[in-house]
Structure 1
Protein backbone atom coordinates (compact mmCIF):
# COMPACT_ATOMS: atom_id res chain seq x y z
CA UNK A 1 0.00 0.00 0.00
CA UNK A 2 1.19 3.53 -0.75
CA UNK A 3 1.18 6.44 1.68
CA UNK A 4 1.18 10.11 0.64
CA UNK A 5 3.21 12.40 2.88
CA UNK A 6 4.16 15.99 3.65
CA UNK A 7 7.34 17.16 5.40
CA UNK A 8 7.15 20.10 7.83
CA UNK A 9 10.61 21.23 8.99
CA UNK A 10 12.24 24.65 9.28
CA UNK A 11 15.63 23.27 8.18
CA UNK A 12 15.62 22.90 4.38
CA UNK A 13 18.64 20.61 4.44
CA UNK A 14 16.78 18.35 6.85
CA UNK A 15 13.74 18.40 4.54
CA UNK A 16 15.90 17.20 1.64
CA UNK A 17 17.46 14.43 3.73
CA UNK A 18 14.06 13.19 4.91
CA UNK A 19 12.70 13.26 1.35
CA UNK A 20 15.78 11.46 -0.02
CA UNK A 21 15.33 8.69 2.53
CA UNK A 22 11.59 8.40 1.88
CA UNK A 23 12.12 8.41 -1.91
CA UNK A 24 13.99 5.11 -1.65
CA UNK A 25 10.72 3.43 -0.62
CA UNK A 26 8.12 2.94 -3.36
CA UNK A 27 5.35 2.95 -0.73
CA UNK A 28 5.92 6.64 0.14
CA UNK A 29 4.57 9.32 -2.21
CA UNK A 30 5.82 12.87 -1.67
CA UNK A 31 3.31 15.74 -1.94
CA UNK A 32 5.03 18.88 -0.67
CA UNK A 33 7.03 20.44 2.18
CA UNK A 34 6.70 23.49 4.40
CA UNK A 35 9.09 25.38 6.69
CA UNK A 36 6.67 26.87 9.21
CA UNK A 37 3.49 26.22 11.16
CA UNK A 38 1.06 28.18 8.99
CA UNK A 39 2.29 26.88 5.64
CA UNK A 40 2.37 23.35 7.01
CA UNK A 41 -1.19 23.60 8.27
CA UNK A 42 -2.37 24.95 4.91
CA UNK A 43 -0.68 22.11 3.02
CA UNK A 44 -2.25 19.46 5.23
CA UNK A 45 -5.75 20.93 4.94
CA UNK A 46 -5.42 21.30 1.17
CA UNK A 47 -3.90 17.90 0.33
CA UNK A 48 -5.00 15.72 3.32
CA UNK A 49 -1.93 13.45 3.22
CA UNK A 50 -1.83 10.12 5.01
CA UNK A 51 1.46 10.91 6.76
CA UNK A 52 3.09 14.07 8.09
CA UNK A 53 6.79 14.15 9.02
CA UNK A 54 6.93 16.92 11.64
CA UNK A 55 9.85 18.66 13.35
CA UNK A 56 8.84 19.88 16.83
CA UNK A 57 12.14 21.44 17.98
CA UNK A 58 12.87 23.95 15.21
CA UNK A 59 16.11 25.88 14.82
CA UNK A 60 14.12 28.96 13.88
CA UNK A 61 11.65 29.58 16.70
CA UNK A 62 9.73 31.98 14.44
CA UNK A 63 8.56 28.95 12.45
CA UNK A 64 6.33 28.06 15.46
CA UNK A 65 6.68 24.35 14.78
CA UNK A 66 5.44 22.27 17.71
CA UNK A 67 3.01 19.58 18.77
CA UNK A 68 0.33 22.28 18.90
CA UNK A 69 -0.11 21.74 15.16
CA UNK A 70 -1.77 18.39 15.92
CA UNK A 71 -4.44 20.03 18.07
CA UNK A 72 -5.16 22.48 15.27
CA UNK A 73 -5.71 19.63 12.80
CA UNK A 74 -8.47 18.19 14.98
CA UNK A 75 -10.35 21.48 14.63
CA UNK A 76 -10.71 21.03 10.87
CA UNK A 77 -10.28 17.38 9.94
CA UNK A 78 -12.49 14.41 10.68
CA UNK A 79 -9.57 12.07 9.94
CA UNK A 80 -6.19 13.41 11.04
CA UNK A 81 -3.06 12.20 9.19
CA UNK A 82 -0.64 9.93 10.99
CA UNK A 83 2.04 12.14 12.54
CA UNK A 84 5.68 11.02 12.51
CA UNK A 85 7.92 13.22 14.63
CA UNK A 86 11.44 13.84 13.28
CA UNK A 87 13.78 15.60 15.69
CA UNK A 88 17.18 15.39 17.39
CA UNK A 89 15.89 15.45 20.99
CA UNK A 90 14.82 12.17 22.55
CA UNK A 91 13.54 13.97 25.68
CA UNK A 92 10.51 15.27 23.77
CA UNK A 93 9.25 11.74 23.12
CA UNK A 94 7.10 11.44 26.25
CA UNK A 95 5.19 14.63 25.44
CA UNK A 96 4.74 13.48 21.84
CA UNK A 97 3.24 10.19 23.02
CA UNK A 98 0.54 12.15 24.83
CA UNK A 99 -0.51 13.45 21.42
CA UNK A 100 -0.75 9.85 20.13
CA UNK A 101 1.78 10.32 17.35
CA UNK A 102 2.38 7.31 15.12
CA UNK A 103 6.17 7.28 15.45
CA UNK A 104 9.10 9.26 16.85
CA UNK A 105 12.21 9.23 14.64
CA UNK A 106 15.51 10.65 15.85
CA UNK A 107 17.76 12.58 13.49
CA UNK A 108 19.96 11.75 11.71
CA UNK A 109 17.36 9.45 10.18
CA UNK A 110 18.35 5.86 9.42
CA UNK A 111 17.00 3.55 6.76
CA UNK A 112 15.97 0.87 9.25
CA UNK A 113 13.65 3.33 11.02
CA UNK A 114 11.75 3.83 7.75
CA UNK A 115 11.61 0.07 7.19
CA UNK A 116 10.07 -0.37 10.65
CA UNK A 117 7.68 2.54 10.08
CA UNK A 118 6.29 1.05 6.86
CA UNK A 119 5.96 -2.38 8.47
CA UNK A 120 4.05 -0.80 11.34
CA UNK A 121 1.73 1.07 8.95
CA UNK A 122 1.09 -2.07 6.88
CA UNK A 123 0.35 -4.11 9.99
CA UNK A 124 -2.05 -1.47 11.30
CA UNK A 125 -3.91 -1.36 7.97
CA UNK A 126 -4.10 -5.14 7.81
CA UNK A 127 -5.60 -5.32 11.31
CA UNK A 128 -8.17 -2.66 10.40
CA UNK A 129 -9.15 -4.50 7.25
CA UNK A 130 -9.50 -7.80 9.09
CA UNK A 131 -12.15 -6.19 11.26
CA UNK A 132 -14.24 -5.18 8.27
CA UNK A 133 -13.49 -6.73 4.89
CA UNK A 134 -15.44 -6.19 1.69
CA UNK A 135 -15.41 -8.42 -1.39
CA UNK A 136 -13.70 -6.97 -4.46
CA UNK A 137 -15.36 -7.43 -7.83
CA UNK A 138 -12.97 -7.58 -10.76
CA UNK A 139 -15.29 -7.21 -13.73
CA UNK A 140 -13.99 -8.74 -16.97
CA UNK A 141 -16.99 -7.45 -18.90
CA UNK A 142 -18.17 -3.92 -19.52
CA UNK A 143 -19.22 -2.17 -16.29
CA UNK A 144 -22.21 -0.52 -17.99
CA UNK A 145 -24.81 -2.42 -15.96
CA UNK A 146 -22.72 -3.71 -13.08
CA UNK A 147 -23.87 -2.48 -9.71
CA UNK A 148 -22.14 -3.41 -6.46
CA UNK A 149 -23.76 -3.17 -3.07
CA UNK A 150 -21.23 -2.90 -0.25
CA UNK A 151 -21.61 -5.58 2.40
CA UNK A 152 -19.32 -5.53 5.43
CA UNK A 153 -17.93 -8.79 6.81
CA UNK A 154 -16.13 -9.13 10.11
CA UNK A 155 -13.19 -11.46 10.57
CA UNK A 156 -13.58 -13.05 7.13
CA UNK A 157 -10.94 -13.45 4.42
CA UNK A 158 -10.86 -11.16 1.42
CA UNK A 159 -12.63 -12.68 -1.58
CA UNK A 160 -11.88 -11.61 -5.15
CA UNK A 161 -14.66 -12.10 -7.66
CA UNK A 162 -13.45 -12.45 -11.25
CA UNK A 163 -16.59 -11.69 -13.24
CA UNK A 164 -16.89 -12.38 -16.96
CA UNK A 165 -20.14 -12.46 -18.95
CA UNK A 166 -22.27 -13.92 -16.18
CA UNK A 167 -19.51 -16.21 -14.87
CA UNK A 168 -18.58 -15.40 -11.25
CA UNK A 169 -15.29 -16.92 -10.10
CA UNK A 170 -14.59 -16.46 -6.37
CA UNK A 171 -11.00 -16.59 -5.12
CA UNK A 172 -9.84 -16.50 -1.52
CA UNK A 173 -7.02 -13.92 -1.50
CA UNK A 174 -5.12 -16.14 0.93
CA UNK A 175 -4.80 -18.74 -1.86
CA UNK A 176 -3.05 -16.36 -4.25
CA UNK A 177 0.70 -16.99 -4.41
CA UNK A 178 1.55 -14.26 -6.90
CA UNK A 179 0.19 -12.15 -9.78
CA UNK A 180 1.90 -11.70 -13.14
CA UNK A 181 1.32 -8.94 -15.67
CA UNK A 182 0.38 -9.98 -19.22
CA UNK A 183 -0.04 -6.79 -21.25
CA UNK A 184 -3.43 -5.37 -20.17
CA UNK A 185 -4.46 -8.48 -18.25
CA UNK A 186 -3.12 -10.20 -15.13
CA UNK A 187 -2.50 -13.89 -14.52
CA UNK A 188 -3.42 -14.86 -10.95
CA UNK A 189 -1.38 -17.86 -9.79
CA UNK A 190 -2.90 -19.86 -6.92
CA UNK A 191 -1.04 -21.95 -4.38
CA UNK A 192 -2.50 -25.14 -5.87
CA UNK A 193 -0.84 -24.42 -9.23
CA UNK A 194 -3.97 -23.14 -10.96
CA UNK A 195 -3.81 -19.95 -13.01
CA UNK A 196 -6.73 -17.55 -13.61
CA UNK A 197 -6.66 -14.58 -15.98
CA UNK A 198 -8.33 -11.30 -15.06
CA UNK A 199 -8.68 -8.51 -17.61
CA UNK A 200 -7.30 -5.83 -15.33
CA UNK A 201 -3.76 -4.46 -15.25
CA UNK A 202 -1.26 -5.33 -12.55
CA UNK A 203 -1.36 -1.66 -11.53
CA UNK A 204 -5.06 -2.09 -10.76
CA UNK A 205 -4.37 -5.02 -8.48
CA UNK A 206 -1.58 -3.10 -6.76
CA UNK A 207 -4.12 -0.41 -5.87
CA UNK A 208 -6.78 -2.78 -4.48
CA UNK A 209 -4.65 -5.42 -2.77
CA UNK A 210 -2.83 -4.51 0.41
CA UNK A 211 -0.39 -6.37 2.64
CA UNK A 212 0.74 -9.20 2.39
CA UNK A 213 0.68 -8.49 -1.38
CA UNK A 214 3.86 -6.62 -2.33
CA UNK A 215 5.04 -5.34 -5.71
CA UNK A 216 8.56 -6.64 -6.44
CA UNK A 217 8.85 -6.07 -10.20
CA UNK A 218 7.05 -4.28 -13.04
CA UNK A 219 5.55 -7.67 -13.87
CA UNK A 220 5.00 -9.24 -10.45
CA UNK A 221 3.12 -8.84 -7.19
CA UNK A 222 3.89 -11.54 -4.64
CA UNK A 223 2.01 -12.75 -1.59
CA UNK A 224 4.72 -12.48 1.04
CA UNK A 225 3.22 -15.52 2.81
CA UNK A 226 4.34 -17.80 -0.04
CA UNK A 227 7.97 -16.69 -0.21
CA UNK A 228 10.34 -19.48 0.85
CA UNK A 229 13.68 -18.00 -0.21
CA UNK A 230 15.18 -14.70 -1.31
CA UNK A 231 18.47 -14.67 -3.22
CA UNK A 232 19.77 -11.09 -3.37
CA UNK A 233 22.70 -11.97 -5.61
CA UNK A 234 20.50 -13.45 -8.30
CA UNK A 235 17.68 -10.96 -7.55
CA UNK A 236 15.03 -13.68 -7.35
CA UNK A 237 12.63 -14.98 -4.73
CA UNK A 238 11.27 -18.51 -4.62
CA UNK A 239 7.64 -19.52 -4.18
CA UNK A 240 6.94 -22.07 -1.46
CA UNK A 241 6.41 -25.71 -2.51
CA UNK A 242 7.12 -24.95 -6.18
CA UNK A 243 10.09 -24.50 -8.50
CA UNK A 244 8.90 -21.00 -9.41
CA UNK A 245 11.42 -18.18 -9.15
CA UNK A 246 10.22 -14.57 -9.43
CA UNK A 247 12.68 -11.80 -10.32
CA UNK A 248 12.71 -8.58 -8.34
CA UNK A 249 13.97 -5.33 -9.83
CA UNK A 250 16.24 -2.65 -8.39
CA UNK A 251 13.39 -0.15 -8.30
CA UNK A 252 11.49 -2.43 -5.89
CA UNK A 253 14.53 -3.49 -3.82
CA UNK A 254 13.16 -1.51 -0.86
CA UNK A 255 10.10 -3.78 -0.82
CA UNK A 256 12.37 -6.84 -0.70
CA UNK A 257 14.22 -5.25 2.23
CA UNK A 258 10.87 -4.84 3.98
CA UNK A 259 10.06 -8.52 3.50
CA UNK A 260 13.46 -9.62 4.84
CA UNK A 261 13.12 -7.30 7.82
CA UNK A 262 9.65 -8.58 8.61
CA UNK A 263 10.77 -12.21 8.57
CA UNK A 264 13.50 -11.33 11.07
CA UNK A 265 10.98 -9.66 13.38
CA UNK A 266 8.86 -12.79 13.68
CA UNK A 267 9.49 -16.10 15.46
CA UNK A 268 12.85 -16.34 13.78
CA UNK A 269 16.19 -18.14 14.15
CA UNK A 270 19.10 -17.31 11.87
CA UNK A 271 21.69 -20.09 11.54
Structure 2
Protein backbone atom coordinates (compact mmCIF):
# COMPACT_ATOMS: atom_id res chain seq x y z
CA UNK A 1 0.00 0.00 0.00
CA UNK A 2 1.22 3.50 -0.86
CA UNK A 3 1.05 6.42 1.58
CA UNK A 4 1.41 10.10 0.72
CA UNK A 5 3.01 12.61 3.04
CA UNK A 6 3.52 16.35 3.30
CA UNK A 7 6.45 18.18 4.90
CA UNK A 8 5.74 21.57 6.49
CA UNK A 9 8.98 23.13 7.68
CA UNK A 10 10.63 26.52 7.28
CA UNK A 11 14.12 24.99 7.39
CA UNK A 12 15.01 23.64 3.93
CA UNK A 13 17.79 21.51 5.37
CA UNK A 14 15.26 19.73 7.57
CA UNK A 15 12.89 19.31 4.64
CA UNK A 16 15.60 17.58 2.61
CA UNK A 17 16.60 15.47 5.62
CA UNK A 18 13.05 14.20 6.16
CA UNK A 19 12.57 13.55 2.45
CA UNK A 20 15.86 11.66 2.24
CA UNK A 21 14.90 9.44 5.19
CA UNK A 22 11.39 8.83 3.85
CA UNK A 23 12.79 7.89 0.44
CA UNK A 24 14.28 4.84 2.13
CA UNK A 25 10.76 3.43 2.63
CA UNK A 26 9.22 2.32 -0.65
CA UNK A 27 5.58 2.75 0.38
CA UNK A 28 5.87 6.50 1.01
CA UNK A 29 5.39 9.23 -1.61
CA UNK A 30 6.06 12.93 -1.10
CA UNK A 31 2.97 14.91 -2.12
CA UNK A 32 4.16 18.45 -1.36
CA UNK A 33 6.22 20.68 0.90
CA UNK A 34 5.51 24.08 2.44
CA UNK A 35 7.47 26.52 4.59
CA UNK A 36 4.72 28.52 6.31
CA UNK A 37 1.33 28.15 7.99
CA UNK A 38 -0.87 29.24 5.08
CA UNK A 39 0.86 27.19 2.42
CA UNK A 40 1.03 24.22 4.76
CA UNK A 41 -2.70 24.30 5.40
CA UNK A 42 -3.41 24.54 1.67
CA UNK A 43 -1.06 21.63 0.94
CA UNK A 44 -2.90 19.38 3.37
CA UNK A 45 -6.34 20.39 2.11
CA UNK A 46 -5.31 19.93 -1.52
CA UNK A 47 -3.44 16.64 -1.27
CA UNK A 48 -5.10 15.18 1.87
CA UNK A 49 -2.07 13.04 2.73
CA UNK A 50 -2.07 10.22 5.25
CA UNK A 51 0.97 11.63 7.06
CA UNK A 52 2.19 15.16 7.81
CA UNK A 53 5.58 16.20 9.20
CA UNK A 54 4.84 19.51 10.93
CA UNK A 55 7.48 21.83 12.38
CA UNK A 56 6.14 23.60 15.50
CA UNK A 57 9.27 25.48 16.61
CA UNK A 58 10.24 27.29 13.41
CA UNK A 59 13.51 29.04 12.74
CA UNK A 60 11.58 31.89 11.12
CA UNK A 61 8.77 33.00 13.44
CA UNK A 62 7.16 34.81 10.52
CA UNK A 63 6.25 31.38 9.13
CA UNK A 64 3.70 31.08 11.98
CA UNK A 65 4.17 27.33 12.11
CA UNK A 66 2.68 25.90 15.29
CA UNK A 67 0.26 23.32 16.71
CA UNK A 68 -2.61 25.67 15.92
CA UNK A 69 -2.52 24.38 12.35
CA UNK A 70 -3.93 21.10 13.68
CA UNK A 71 -6.93 22.90 15.15
CA UNK A 72 -7.57 24.57 11.81
CA UNK A 73 -7.72 21.20 10.04
CA UNK A 74 -10.79 20.22 12.07
CA UNK A 75 -12.69 23.04 10.38
CA UNK A 76 -12.33 21.43 6.96
CA UNK A 77 -11.55 17.72 7.25
CA UNK A 78 -13.58 14.88 8.70
CA UNK A 79 -10.47 12.73 8.94
CA UNK A 80 -7.27 14.38 10.12
CA UNK A 81 -3.98 12.95 8.81
CA UNK A 82 -1.48 11.54 11.26
CA UNK A 83 0.69 14.43 12.44
CA UNK A 84 4.36 13.87 13.22
CA UNK A 85 5.60 16.96 15.00
CA UNK A 86 9.19 18.08 14.44
CA UNK A 87 11.08 20.48 16.69
CA UNK A 88 14.55 21.49 17.87
CA UNK A 89 14.00 19.97 21.33
CA UNK A 90 11.38 18.34 23.52
CA UNK A 91 10.13 21.52 25.20
CA UNK A 92 6.80 21.40 23.36
CA UNK A 93 6.21 17.67 23.78
CA UNK A 94 3.53 18.01 26.47
CA UNK A 95 1.58 20.53 24.42
CA UNK A 96 1.90 18.26 21.39
CA UNK A 97 0.49 15.32 23.36
CA UNK A 98 -2.55 17.42 24.24
CA UNK A 99 -3.08 17.91 20.51
CA UNK A 100 -2.90 14.11 20.09
CA UNK A 101 -0.11 14.17 17.55
CA UNK A 102 1.00 10.81 16.21
CA UNK A 103 4.69 11.21 17.05
CA UNK A 104 7.35 13.74 18.00
CA UNK A 105 10.76 13.91 16.29
CA UNK A 106 13.68 16.09 17.35
CA UNK A 107 16.06 17.55 14.76
CA UNK A 108 18.56 16.53 13.55
CA UNK A 109 16.54 13.47 12.63
CA UNK A 110 18.11 10.06 13.17
CA UNK A 111 17.34 7.08 10.96
CA UNK A 112 16.55 4.73 13.86
CA UNK A 113 13.98 7.08 15.40
CA UNK A 114 12.53 7.89 11.99
CA UNK A 115 12.19 4.18 11.22
CA UNK A 116 10.25 3.63 14.46
CA UNK A 117 7.83 6.37 13.47
CA UNK A 118 7.32 4.92 10.00
CA UNK A 119 6.83 1.36 11.25
CA UNK A 120 4.39 2.55 13.90
CA UNK A 121 2.45 4.46 11.26
CA UNK A 122 2.30 1.45 8.92
CA UNK A 123 1.08 -0.74 11.76
CA UNK A 124 -1.59 1.81 12.66
CA UNK A 125 -2.70 2.27 9.05
CA UNK A 126 -3.06 -1.44 8.42
CA UNK A 127 -4.62 -2.44 11.73
CA UNK A 128 -8.31 -3.16 12.20
CA UNK A 129 -10.29 -2.26 15.29
CA UNK A 130 -11.33 -5.44 17.09
CA UNK A 131 -13.85 -5.01 19.91
CA UNK A 132 -16.09 -7.18 22.04
CA UNK A 133 -19.49 -5.49 22.58
CA UNK A 134 -21.48 -6.17 25.72
CA UNK A 135 -24.46 -7.17 23.63
CA UNK A 136 -24.49 -8.31 19.98
CA UNK A 137 -25.95 -5.06 18.68
CA UNK A 138 -23.62 -2.76 20.61
CA UNK A 139 -20.69 -1.34 18.69
CA UNK A 140 -17.98 0.71 20.40
CA UNK A 141 -17.08 4.16 19.21
CA UNK A 142 -13.38 4.90 19.76
CA UNK A 143 -11.93 8.26 20.74
CA UNK A 144 -8.15 7.88 20.53
CA UNK A 145 -5.18 8.77 18.35
CA UNK A 146 -5.81 5.98 15.90
CA UNK A 147 -9.55 5.51 15.36
CA UNK A 148 -12.71 7.59 15.23
CA UNK A 149 -15.66 5.61 13.90
CA UNK A 150 -19.30 6.55 13.63
CA UNK A 151 -21.52 3.69 14.84
CA UNK A 152 -25.12 2.69 15.50
CA UNK A 153 -26.79 5.51 17.47
CA UNK A 154 -29.30 3.24 19.23
CA UNK A 155 -26.84 1.57 21.60
CA UNK A 156 -23.62 3.44 21.11
CA UNK A 157 -20.67 2.87 23.41
CA UNK A 158 -17.94 5.49 23.46
CA UNK A 159 -14.46 4.36 24.42
CA UNK A 160 -12.08 6.99 25.78
CA UNK A 161 -8.62 5.52 25.26
CA UNK A 162 -5.52 6.96 26.88
CA UNK A 163 -2.17 5.19 27.21
CA UNK A 164 -3.70 1.70 27.31
CA UNK A 165 -6.57 2.74 29.59
CA UNK A 166 -9.97 2.00 28.00
CA UNK A 167 -12.93 3.84 29.53
CA UNK A 168 -16.33 2.72 28.16
CA UNK A 169 -19.32 5.08 28.32
CA UNK A 170 -22.88 4.51 27.13
CA UNK A 171 -23.88 7.44 24.94
CA UNK A 172 -27.34 7.38 26.56
CA UNK A 173 -25.67 8.32 29.88
CA UNK A 174 -24.04 11.48 28.49
CA UNK A 175 -25.86 14.72 29.28
CA UNK A 176 -23.61 17.11 27.38
CA UNK A 177 -20.13 17.83 26.04
CA UNK A 178 -18.23 20.97 27.00
CA UNK A 179 -15.23 22.35 25.11
CA UNK A 180 -12.06 23.03 27.08
CA UNK A 181 -9.44 24.40 24.71
CA UNK A 182 -8.24 21.40 22.69
CA UNK A 183 -9.96 18.82 24.91
CA UNK A 184 -13.60 18.10 25.70
CA UNK A 185 -15.25 17.44 29.06
CA UNK A 186 -17.97 14.77 28.95
CA UNK A 187 -20.67 15.22 31.63
CA UNK A 188 -22.57 12.09 32.67
CA UNK A 189 -25.98 11.66 34.28
CA UNK A 190 -24.36 10.42 37.52
CA UNK A 191 -22.55 13.73 37.98
CA UNK A 192 -19.18 12.42 36.79
CA UNK A 193 -17.05 14.34 34.32
CA UNK A 194 -14.52 12.67 31.97
CA UNK A 195 -12.02 14.50 29.77
CA UNK A 196 -11.22 13.38 26.22
CA UNK A 197 -8.36 14.91 24.26
CA UNK A 198 -10.46 15.64 21.19
CA UNK A 199 -11.98 18.94 20.13
CA UNK A 200 -15.71 19.57 20.34
CA UNK A 201 -15.72 19.84 16.55
CA UNK A 202 -14.48 16.28 16.36
CA UNK A 203 -17.41 15.05 18.44
CA UNK A 204 -19.87 17.13 16.45
CA UNK A 205 -18.82 15.29 13.29
CA UNK A 206 -19.24 11.78 14.67
CA UNK A 207 -21.97 11.77 17.32
CA UNK A 208 -25.42 10.31 16.54
CA UNK A 209 -28.59 12.28 15.98
CA UNK A 210 -29.68 12.77 19.61
CA UNK A 211 -26.74 15.15 20.16
CA UNK A 212 -27.04 18.78 19.04
CA UNK A 213 -24.44 21.54 18.94
CA UNK A 214 -26.00 24.58 20.61
CA UNK A 215 -22.97 26.75 21.30
CA UNK A 216 -19.28 27.01 20.42
CA UNK A 217 -18.66 25.31 23.77
CA UNK A 218 -21.54 22.85 24.12
CA UNK A 219 -23.14 19.78 22.54
CA UNK A 220 -26.22 18.53 24.38
CA UNK A 221 -28.08 15.22 24.47
CA UNK A 222 -31.68 16.07 23.58
CA UNK A 223 -32.94 13.39 25.98
CA UNK A 224 -31.66 15.38 28.96
CA UNK A 225 -33.22 18.74 28.09
CA UNK A 226 -35.99 19.69 30.52
CA UNK A 227 -36.54 23.29 29.48
CA UNK A 228 -35.55 25.74 26.78
CA UNK A 229 -35.84 29.45 27.47
CA UNK A 230 -35.45 31.27 24.16
CA UNK A 231 -35.59 34.70 25.82
CA UNK A 232 -32.60 33.97 28.05
CA UNK A 233 -31.01 31.70 25.42
CA UNK A 234 -30.44 28.79 27.80
CA UNK A 235 -31.23 25.06 27.93
CA UNK A 236 -31.87 23.36 31.28
CA UNK A 237 -30.58 19.86 32.04
CA UNK A 238 -33.00 17.42 33.68
CA UNK A 239 -32.70 16.81 37.43
CA UNK A 240 -29.86 19.31 37.80
CA UNK A 241 -29.37 23.04 38.24
CA UNK A 242 -27.22 23.14 35.08
CA UNK A 243 -28.11 25.71 32.43
CA UNK A 244 -26.35 25.61 29.07
CA UNK A 245 -26.28 28.75 26.94
CA UNK A 246 -27.06 28.59 23.24
CA UNK A 247 -25.83 31.12 20.71
CA UNK A 248 -27.52 32.79 17.75
CA UNK A 249 -25.35 30.88 15.32
CA UNK A 250 -26.86 27.63 16.60
CA UNK A 251 -30.43 28.88 17.02
CA UNK A 252 -31.48 26.65 14.10
CA UNK A 253 -30.36 23.59 16.05
CA UNK A 254 -32.34 24.73 19.08
CA UNK A 255 -35.43 25.18 16.92
CA UNK A 256 -34.89 21.66 15.62
CA UNK A 257 -34.63 20.32 19.19
CA UNK A 258 -37.98 21.90 20.01
CA UNK A 259 -39.49 20.41 16.86
CA UNK A 260 -38.16 16.92 17.67
CA UNK A 261 -39.41 17.00 21.27
CA UNK A 262 -42.82 18.17 20.17
CA UNK A 263 -43.15 15.63 17.35
CA UNK A 264 -44.47 12.75 19.48
CA UNK A 265 -46.04 12.11 22.88
CA UNK A 266 -46.36 15.83 23.39
CA UNK A 267 -49.06 17.94 25.03
CA UNK A 268 -48.74 21.72 25.01
CA UNK A 269 -50.68 23.59 27.65
Scaled by the length of structure 2, what TM-score is found?
A: 0.47
Tell which has more relative contact order, 1 or 2 (C-alpha 8 A, sep 6+).
1
